[in-house]
Chains A and B, each alone.
Chain A
Amino acid sequence: MLKWIPAELHTHTLHSDGKQTLEELAQSAADLGLECIAMTDHNTQSALVDQERVQQQYGVPIISGMEWTTFYGHMLTLGVDRFIDWRVLGPDDIHEGIRQVHERGGIAGLAHPFRIGSPICTGCFWEYSIQDWHEVDYIEVWSTLMPSIKRDSQRAFAMWTDLLNQGYRITAVSGRDWHVSKPDDALPAVTYLGVHSEAEEQESLAIRAVEAIRLGSVSVTMGPLLTMSAQINDSDKRYGIGECVELAGEDSLSVTVQLDVETRAAHYNLEPQNLRLLLTSGQGVCSETYIPAQSGEYTLSLQNPTGKGWVRAELYGYMEDCVTMIAFTNPMYIT
């Protein structure tokens, strides 16, 4: 059974340049209906000395992480609780860093790769040379508050799409880059992680959350939860987000998109309207329909699915005085 956990994957405390304690961060996360956070301070993990106590006190599992705040890019690492020395790596050496992250059971992702760089925001623009994108686990394609309207998020989203078109399977997430909470904050996005709730209950949720990102079982939204599944012909087997669908030439694929406006409904405002729902693939838009802003399930038939490479759902509509992308799923991959 897959359960969708609302998470925030990019946070800071006063152990680096954040303005909040881990307790305050966990309290704010709980207030926002988040069920998991990643602790990703700049170049330190010292906030994690309070990890056990804080996650018990606030009921919010905390993923051990760090933001490698380097001269050539900011790289988020999740699921690693030991220091890996970022200071010794030059602009052509990031694969050595990623290798060490993987060796310690973690995953590595690009943070805000198109934010303006040095010396305005030092190291914020991704300038490491990547020789093999297969080794990159994820990209923070939406960054900061109201991310979908931000140009650097749009550039990151386009880069991700281009990499998918080249055949890479890279997970896309959002990251608030959460340094402080203010009463007039704009709307944050949320990364929903699809975790298996039955399997291996003894594993902590933080470990399963990292695994969900590794597997691409992820959906990103500024409002309602958008998920999808697919079936080949009339088969009973359902494929989920992040999974690979193997098709023969004559097979048809039906994709069922679920919109859930009840989960975390108190934390965003979605006015009555017709929302634009797209299925996109390596060949562009392959299905477009308008749906009401209420919970529902929509089955769309994908024409000539073989050769499309991947397919994801995207939701557009009116939110916070903007007409914008509201949510997107990670892809299912088609071979």
Chain B
Amino acid sequence: MSRLLYVEGTVDRTCTQSHITYSFHIPQPTDTIRILFSYTPKLLEDQEQAREIIEESMSKYGYDEPGHSPDLWKKYMPLQNLLTLSVDDPLRHRGNAHRPEMQQEHWLGSSTASPGFLAGDNPAGMWRITVSLHAVVTETLVYQIHVLGEEATYA
């Protein structure tokens, strides 16, 4: 097993609705690409900040009609960070893990792949991993991406 990429990043709310792409070289065809992806925290715990953000969103999207309960904002709790990860090999798009878990493990193998991704050859060349920051609601957020290459073992 070889380590192909390890990154750690810190973002704040200004990064919401942006993409961060890592381009990196895989020197030789690889049987399985394994990706460990995690970020923390998941939830905005500060009630007062959450109320402000939710009420602003309700106002922006027309959900704050006069006469509604002052506690209506609680219906949209808790506010969550949402980061998704997508992969492009040198030749084609390999898929996307659009799911809410803050710790994820994905793999791309020649005959099977984890949900969201396409199995197939993992060619040498420049690969890209993109983190799509759909929502950063906490003041800061830390993420890690760990990419490992595994060759097939033959008995």
Contacts and interface: CB of A to CB of B under 8 A. Distances in A.
Contact of A46 (B82, B92, B118, B130): B118
Contact of A87 (B19, B60, B117, B118): B19
A71 B99 contact: no
Interface string B122-150: 00000000101011110000000000000
Interface in A178-212: none
Interface stretch (B2-10, B24-32, B51-59): B51-59
Contacts of A214: none
A116 B57 contact: yes
A71 B97 CA distance: 16
Q: Report the interface size class on chain A.
A: 20 to 34
B57 A120 contact: yes
Contacts of B137: 119
A46 B95 contact: yes
A117 B118 contact: no
- Looking at chain A's contact residues, the main secondary structure is loop
Contacts of A69: 98, 134
Interface residues of B, number: 36
A17 B100 contact: yes
B96 A42 contact: yes
Contact of A71 (B53, B116, B130, B134): B134
B38 interface: no
Contacts of B99: 16-17
Contact of A120 (B76, B98, B130): B76
Given A17-B100, A46-B113, A46-B115, A122 B60 contact: no
Contacts of A42: 84, 96, 98
A122 B82 CA distance: 8
A116 B76 contact: yes
A30 B92 CA distance: 34
Contacts of A116: 57-58, 61, 63, 76
Contacts of B136: 119
Nearest to B117: A46
Interface string B19-50: 10000000000000000000000000000000
7 contacts: A17-B99, A43-B84, A72-B17, A87-B130, A87-B132, A114-B62, A117-B61
